[in-house]
Amino acid sequence: MSPAEDVSPTPTAAPARHAPARLDVVGLEVQRGDRRLFTGLDFSIESGELLHVRGPNGSGKTTLLRALCGLLLPQAGEIRWNGEAIRRLGEEFTRNVIYLGHLNGIKHELTGLENLRVAATLDGDRVEDAALWQALARIGLAGFEDLPTLVLSQGQKKRVALARLMLTSARLWILDEPFVALDTRAVALLETLLVDHVARGGLLIMTTHQEVALTSGTTRTLDLGSTA
Amino acid sequence: MSPAEDVSPTPTAAPARHAPARLDVVGLEVQRGDRRLFTGLDFSIESGELLHVRGPNGSGKTTLLRALCGLLLPQAGEIRWNGEAIRRLGEEFTRNVIYLGHLNGIKHELTGLENLRVAATLDGDRVEDAALWQALARIGLAGFEDLPTLVLSQGQKKRVALARLMLTSARLWILDEPFVALDTRAVALLETLLVDHVARGGLLIMTTHQEVALTSGTTRTLDLGSTA
Amino acid sequence: MNGMVGTFLVIVRRDLTLAMRRRTDVLTTLFFFVIVASLFPLGVGSEKTMLRFLGPGVVWVAALLASMLALERLFASDFADGTLEQMLLTPQPLSVLVLGKVCAHWLLTGLPLVAIAPLIGLQYHLQGATLWVMALALLVGTPVLSLIGAIGAALTLGLRGGGILISLLVLPLYIPVLVYGSGAVAASTIDLADVQPFIALLGAFLVLALAFAPLATAAALRISVE
Amino acid sequence: MNGMVGTFLVIVRRDLTLAMRRRTDVLTTLFFFVIVASLFPLGVGSEKTMLRFLGPGVVWVAALLASMLALERLFASDFADGTLEQMLLTPQPLSVLVLGKVCAHWLLTGLPLVAIAPLIGLQYHLQGATLWVMALALLVGTPVLSLIGAIGAALTLGLRGGGILISLLVLPLYIPVLVYGSGAVAASTIDLADVQPFIALLGAFLVLALAFAPLATAAALRISVE
Amino acid sequence: MKLHWFHFSAPSTFYGLAGRMTPWFLGLALVTGVIALYWGFFETPDRLGGSNPQKEYYRIIYVHVASAWMSMWLYVVVAGWSAIGLVFNTRLSYMMAVSVAPTGALFTFLALFTGAFWGKPSWGTWWDWDPRLTSELVLFFLYVGYLALHSAIDDTRRADRAAALLAIVGLVMVPVIFWSINCPDPNQCAALHQRSSMSDIDGNILFGMLGLTFAFWMYSFATSFMRVRSIILERESDTGWVAEQLQKEGVR
Amino acid sequence: MMEFLAQGGYAFYVWSCYGMAVVLIAAELVALQRRRRTILSQLGRLKRMREAEEQR
Ligand code: HEM
Ligand SMILES: Nc1ncnc2c1ncn2[C@@H]1O[C@H](COP(=O)(O)OP(=O)(O)OP(=O)(O)O)[C@@H](O)[C@H]1O
Ligand SMILES: Nc1ncnc2c1ncn2[C@@H]1O[C@H](COP(=O)(O)OP(=O)(O)OP(=O)(O)O)[C@@H](O)[C@H]1O
Ligand SMILES: [Mg+2]
Ligand SMILES: [Mg+2]
């Protein structure tokens, strides 16, 4: 008796507009191994904007994204959230960020539902079960909610991870190749999610090798120098 | 002083035509966990044909491919290579197969070159160093040949795995989402490789969520029922 | 504050659920302990006085190894599947999350050892009070092992051969616990009164470990995940 | 046939290279052995006659544990990064590949133990011939451990907590080697003439293991990779 | 005949068969058990003299020996089913192996427990590293390993086949292990330690031992059948016949 | 009777052995029953879910 039936086509995540915010990157330099991936990188992005980080394989997209959400300490330069260095903000900053990388960040022993619940709780988001069921149903996992995610396929696992996007109230979304392994229906759904987020005044930074055309908000692109 | 410079635009893999061959699948039934993914699956593919396995996430594409190359023992039904059950053929069959799955199958401690050398040797393929260098150069890893692959990016790792395609003389290629994580240039290159293989009378079975249009050989598609 | 306790409980519950999905994990640690303890008589022969003398040492070394091996799994899977980097990005203080994980881990691996130890003691012909002293010493000592071990686990995260590498970092740090733990048992065979200071010392170790280990572990995690 | 030898050598060289890229792996096993062996005097006190009596058993148990822990890594990384499934798809007989891997593994983990064991023996006040007997026994015994352990490693491939699960499966199977290995050393302390049958038995085990273990391991791998 | 076999090796048919047999085995076990124990307690002397004098506590022997023997026999059974499974790839054989093992482990534990409780009065110690005891302990470890491996793997098919292989390897090793325990010094293996001196045991006692052993055996049939039925349901849940079965059993 | 129960002073040893035997056997039987009941109820639930699907 899952509430999965009564799925409303409208987005279920809190439709409230986000408070304005901005992320500034000044003179960023990141080195991996002994290769300087980029130096003196400057850009900024604010509410309602999508930053599409492009570049060939190995140009440093993932590295940049990890630096932006503070997982990776840059060699030089600073990343500022509303003018404050994220290093100093600490949890104050991470509260506003959701990052989905090459790894799905779900536990295979837990069901999709449990995974979502734990993640949301730790993020400090709303977690009525109804909302969880609904999110999973919308992402196309109705019927798979309480299977251990181990038995899900590549793309299904990815979907479980993406479901968080419908619950989070984070303003800054950082997504590394979110479309990988998704079938066409899932891709379409994800696109509407992203559009909606930006429309609500969120910030979105993502990489993808597919072409993205989000119909709302301003789309900036950042091209990282080729290496290969 | 890598011979990477003198790269000929023409394919480097042995351009000899493949001996004709066929793969027949009769009444295949595969069960994963306690879900029957498909039963009574029949199809066959022969030289110069491309089989594009399609289906939404979780429809069983990966499972099918693993069964086809003998990694996974089906509950029922048989897979025949030139009329002989692959179970019985054993190494006689695997000699003809190359499988690239969700995992890249490269060791992070070894350089791209070493990875390629070991793989090719075990496959019993030609392994003059020149050929290895050339293959890596063509796939766009010139300059990365002797870095430990640990330090390569997602897409670069994928490329190392794909480089094997240029050395193998296997007639049956089984590729699971080979385009994932590749940038546009790499995608284009891979497509030419596949076209060429089919043109030379090879068999190709692949899955991908992108659209594929290979200009040569007959392209069949197999649609696996939706689950999600 | 309440938020912290909440987070702590969420993590503990999560990890306990995970373990319950795989009850074996708990049992394996337990049986590893039992098996290792049972190997020695096969190696050194079964002479009574000898065994009684060996008992305390063997039990403690076995406990050390068991809890150390179990540690390898403390963060490994969270790291591999990316849940760990997600934890770093939650608005919760990392050291609390760590404490939660260590606590759950001890409940699953340490506590059972304490419970079974007396039986092992019987195999080594230890009697009466000695058995209880051993259980008590383990009860105070094993949490210290988990807390210290967590640091090692965090440092060796994602390194191939982590398991055995941890032991390198951690076993030396375990030595004080080993010395006073087995000391307590040995002392009890002579005079129960002498036991008290040993236990007190172990208690002191526990308090210190509780205070500092989680912080060190958190720091180690941030380094390893980068 | 020649092809087989070729394959065998390719694998051995490959694994040795891998290990050289991460020298720590080799050292860790060694140090683990040393540390575990050195823990006991701390646990049981350092009474000479007692230690001399314990020596053989402790050294062998330590060797058992060390080689078992190292085993966990025998196939794990190949499985995780997909090179293992590629090996299953090569035209080479799997058991030969397995033998190659086990051989390399023993060279990296078993042999060092044999080399260092006499030093440990000194810690336990064993002297002269006994030390050499111990080294000899280990030289014949440890390959058996690697071969048997490989089966366990293959069965537990990719399971959470594989490390400790292996020990559960494998340690009981190690008992014969433990009994006769330590028996040999113990016997040598009394009369060197008695040692010979022990070694002979170990040798017999080795031959049998060489013959059958790789096949069982190959079968286990096919099961686990699916 | 062959046909007949494959007929019953189909889980769907075996499910019914096992269901019908279970009560009979349970009944048989109960009856023989009661008779054996009555005999063993009331038709036997209270004290034993002779080669090894024993007081009333020798009556532990019935449950002790019976469980010890069953523990060993059942391990052979597990390995046997496993072998059949690996050779003929019949799902049912694996299920049988998996459903026998827990009962075997239970008897092993019982043998150890009763042994310990016999050792206390007769040897004055709960535990002694006597070869027979040690062997039993190792057997217990083997059971635990089998069960642990099986439950550590989620994909049932892999679990079945992996555990099966382990069981067979274990069975091959058991003689070597037990031998090494019984005779740690190859220089003097002639003198094996205390063999079970069945010869000089009073016939009535022997009757009790054998009777209870038989009872335990029947019991193990019953439990493994009950267990296999649950396993079949769990694994075949999405097949048609299970649905019909549910109709028959009137499951709502 | 009492004397029978006393088993010549070894009641504790004898009866705890048979006691343990009974306990273990009983426990196993109960566990088996419970396992069967749970799987049956699960299957029932699944069946009802499927029927509900077919309604729509
Ligand atoms: C925890 C394990 C065990 C303990 C503590 C134990 C202890 C004992 C004791 C104290 C006796 C009384 C007879 C005597 O003192 O000679 C006995 C008898 C016996 N035990 Fe065990 N035993 C154990 C395991 C086993 C096992 C594994 C077997 C295997 C069949 C076994 C078979 C027998 C038999 C046949 C007797 C009959 C009396 C005799 O023949 O000596 N026991 N055991
Ligand atoms: N752990 C590491 N140590 C050393 N160098 C690294 C490490 N990780 C990545 N690099 C280097 O950093 C470069 C950028 O890696 P990154 O993963 O950011 O590329 P990317 O843009 O994400 O590529 P892709 O599109 O394939 O994901 C790579 O070329 C690689 O050589
Ligand atoms: N190890 C497993 N145990 C149980 N079930 C599994 C296992 N692996 C896969 N499955 C099930 O098999 C189904 C098919 O998985 P598979 O990976 O073949 O899908 P796929 O077509 O490759 O999907 P994707 O496009 O996302 O890769 C999944 O729905 C999953 O539920
Ligand atoms: Mg990337
Ligand atoms: Mg797939």
Q: Which of D81, D92, D225 sits opposite B107 (nearest CB)?
A: D81
What is the model's pLDDT at position A68? 93
DSSP letter at D106 equals I
Which H or E run includes C96? helix C94-105
Q: Where are the alpha helices (DSSP H) in chain D?
A: 2-21, 23-44, 48-71, 73-80, 83-88, 94-105, 111-123, 129-155, 162-190, 195-225
- Asked if pLDDT for residue B182 goes beyond 70, the answer is yes
Ligand 2, atom 28, residue with closest C-alpha: A58
- Asked if pLDDT for residue E162 goes beyond 80, the answer is yes
Token readout for D171 is 């340690």
E115 lines ligand 1 (CB under 6 A): yes
Q: Which of C22, C25, C122 sits opposite E127 (nearest CB)?
A: C122
What is the model's pLDDT at position B7? 41
What is the model's pLDDT at position D40? 80
What is the model's pLDDT at position A216? 66
Band of residue A11 on the pLDDT scale cut at 50, 70, 90: very low
**C-alpha dihedral, A166 to A167 to A168 to A169, nearest 10°:** 100
- Please state the atom number of ligand 2 nearest to the C-alpha of residue A61: 21
| Chain B residue closest in CA terms to A31 | B151
User: What is chain A's mean pLDDT, rounded?
Assistant: 84
**D126–E contact, CB cutoff 8 A:** no
The packing angle between helices D48-71 and D162-190, to 10°, is: 140
Q: Which of B189-193, D26-30, D163-167, E3-7 has the lowest mean pLDDT?
A: E3-7
Residue C176, burial from CB neighbour count under 10 angstroms (0-12, 13-18, 19+)? middle
E155 lines ligand 3 (CB under 6 A): yes
Distance CA A109, CA A106 (A): 9
- Asked if pLDDT for residue A89 goes beyond 80, the answer is yes
Token readout for D167 is 């020990």
Which of B32, B93, B109 to mutate against chain D (most D CBs within 10 Å)?
B109
Q: In what order do the strands lie in the sheet with A76-81?
A: A35-46, A22-32, A76-81, A84-85
Span E125-147, average pLDDT: 88
Encoded amino acid at B108, one letter: H
Q: Which of C27, C31, C122 sits opposite E126 (nearest CB)?
A: C122
Contact E156 B36 (CB under 8 A): no
Q: How many CA atoms lie within 13 A of B120 on its CB side?
A: 26
Asked if B146 and B116 count as a contact pair (C-beta separation under 8 A), the reply is no
Band of residue B215 on the pLDDT scale cut at 50, 70, 90: low
In three-state secondary structure terms, A31 is: strand
Question: C86 CA to chain E: closest CA distance, Å?
Answer: 25
Distance CA D93, CA C201 (A): 58
What is the DSSP code string of C22-38? Answer: THHHHHHHHHHHHHHHH
Share of chain A above pLDDT 90, in %: 38
- pLDDT tens digits for range A146-172: 788 877 888 889 999 999 999 988 999
Distance CA D91, CA D87 (A): 9
Out of B8-17, B30-39, C20-29, D134-143, the most confident range is D134-143
Q: Do chains C and E touch (3 or more CB pairs under 8 A)?
A: yes
Closest ligand to the CA of A67: 2
Asked if B113 and B145 count as a contact pair (C-beta separation under 8 A), the reply is yes
- Asked if pLDDT for residue D91 goes beyond 70, the answer is yes
Distance CA A173, CA A197 (A): 9
| Chain C residue closest in CA terms to D52 | C44
User: What is chain D's mean pLDDT, rounded?
Assistant: 88
Band of residue D1 on the pLDDT scale cut at 50, 70, 90: very low
Contact D90 B122 (CB under 8 A): yes
Band of residue A100 on the pLDDT scale cut at 50, 70, 90: very high
**D10–B contact, CB cutoff 8 A:** yes
Span D174-182, average pLDDT: 91
Share of chain B above pLDDT 90, in %: 36
Share of chain D above pLDDT 90, in %: 42
**Spacing, Cα B137 to ligand 1 middle (Å):** 73
Question: E56 CA to chain F: closest CA distance, Å?
Answer: 6
Asked if D158 and D80 count as a contact pair (C-beta separation under 8 A), the reply is yes
Span E111-122, average pLDDT: 87
**Spacing, Cα D168 to ligand 4 middle (Å):** 40
B221 lines ligand 2 (CB under 6 A): no
- pLDDT tens digits for range E172-220: 999 888 888 887 877 776 544 455 555 566 777 788 889 999 999 999 9
Between CA B95 and CA B101, with CA B99 as vertex, the angle to 5 degrees is 160
DSSP letter at F49 equals H
**A188–B contact, CB cutoff 8 A:** no
In three-state secondary structure terms, B81 is: strand
**F37–E contact, CB cutoff 8 A:** no
**Tens of pLDDT along chain C (226 residues)?**
457 888 899 999 999 998 887 767 778 788 889 999 988 888 887 788 888 888 888 888 888 888 887 887 788 888 888 899 999 998 888 999 999 999 999 999 899 999 999 989 988 888 888 889 999 999 999 999 999 999 988 988 866 555 567 777 788 888 889 889 988 888 888 888 888 899 999 999 999 999 999 999 999 998 888 7
Q: Which of C43, C171, C179 sits opposite D178 (nearest CB)?
A: C43
Between CA C130 and CA E107, with CA D61 as vertex, the angle to 5 degrees is 70
Asked if D223 and E166 count as a contact pair (C-beta separation under 8 A), the reply is no
Residue B145, burial from CB neighbour count under 10 angstroms (0-12, 13-18, 19+)? buried
Q: pLDDT higher for E5 or D201?
A: D201
Contact D83 B101 (CB under 8 A): no
B34 lines ligand 3 (CB under 6 A): no
Distance CA A191, CA A168 (A): 16
A140 lines ligand 2 (CB under 6 A): no
Span B38-53, average pLDDT: 90
Span B55-80, average pLDDT: 89
- pLDDT tens digits for range A104-148: 899 988 899 999 999 998 888 777 888 899 999 998 888 888 788
- pLDDT tens digits for range A211-221: 766 666 678 88
Q: Which of E153, E165, E185 sits opposite D216 (nearest CB)?
A: E165
Token readout for C80 is 């591999």
Q: What is the ipTM of this complex?
A: 0.80
E60 lines ligand 1 (CB under 6 A): no
For chain F, report the end-to-end CA distance as a whole number of angstroms.
Answer: 70
- Considering only residues 170 to 199 of chain E, which have any Cβ-Cβ distance to chain C shorter than 8 Å? 181, 184
Q: For chain D, list the contacting chains (3+ Cβ pairs, <8 Å).
A: B, C, E
What is the DSSP code string of A39-102? Answer: EEEEEEEETTEEEEEE-STTSSHHHHHHHHTTSS--SEEEEEETTEEHHHHTHHHHTTEEEE-S
| Chain F residue closest in CA terms to E66 | F21
Span E10-34, average pLDDT: 91
Instruction: For residue F34, give Cα distances in angstroms to C19, E12, E25, E77.
Output: 22, 21, 20, 25
What is the model's pLDDT at position C159? 66
**Spacing, Cα A179 to ligand 4 middle (Å):** 13
What are the residues whose beta carbons fall under 8 Å from the beta carbon of F18, sequence distance 6 or more?
E63
Which of E86, E147, E182, E185 to mutate against chain D (most D CBs within 10 Å)?
E185
What are the residues whose beta carbons fall under 8 Å from the beta carbon of B148, sequence distance 6 or more?
B108, B109, B110, B111, D21
Q: What are the respective helix, strand and coil percentages of chain C, to the nearest 5?
A: 90, 0, 10
Band of residue F56 on the pLDDT scale cut at 50, 70, 90: low
Q: pLDDT higher for D88 or C172?
A: D88
Ligand 2, atom 29, residue with closest C-alpha: A58
Encoded amino acid at E233, one letter: L
Sequence-distant contacts of B85-90: CB under 8 A, at least 24 apart: none
Contact C81 A105 (CB under 8 A): yes
Distance CA C217, CA C94 (A): 9
In three-state secondary structure terms, B24 is: strand
What is the model's pLDDT at position B63? 92
Question: E41 CA to chain C: closest CA distance, Å?
Answer: 30
**Spacing, Cα A150 to ligand 5 middle (Å):** 13
Ligand 3, atom 1, residue with closest C-alpha: A151
Please list the residues that pair with A206 across neighbouring strands. A52, A175
Distance CA D183, CA C45 (A): 9
- Please state the atom number of ligand 3 nearest to the C-alpha of residue B60: 18
Band of residue A3 on the pLDDT scale cut at 50, 70, 90: very low
Pairing of strands B76-81, B22-32: antiparallel
Q: In what order do the strands lie in the sheet with B22-32?
A: B35-46, B22-32, B76-81, B84-85
Span E86-103, average pLDDT: 92
Asked if B200 and B18 count as a contact pair (C-beta separation under 8 A), the reply is yes
Distance CA F16, CA E64 (A): 12
- Please state the atom number of ligand 2 nearest to the C-alpha of residue B158: 26
Which H or E run includes B172? strand B172-176
DSSP letter at A147 equals S
Ligand 2, atom 1, residue with closest C-alpha: B151
**A109–C contact, CB cutoff 8 A:** yes
User: What is chain E's mean pLDDT, rounded?
Assistant: 84
- Asked if pLDDT for residue B11 goes beyond 50, the answer is no
Pairs across B and D, CB distance < 8 A? 71
Q: Which of F13, F24, F43 sits opposite E251 (nearest CB)?
A: F43
Number of Cβ atoms within 10 Å of the Cβ of D38: 16
Sign of CA dihedral D177, D181, D187, D191: positive
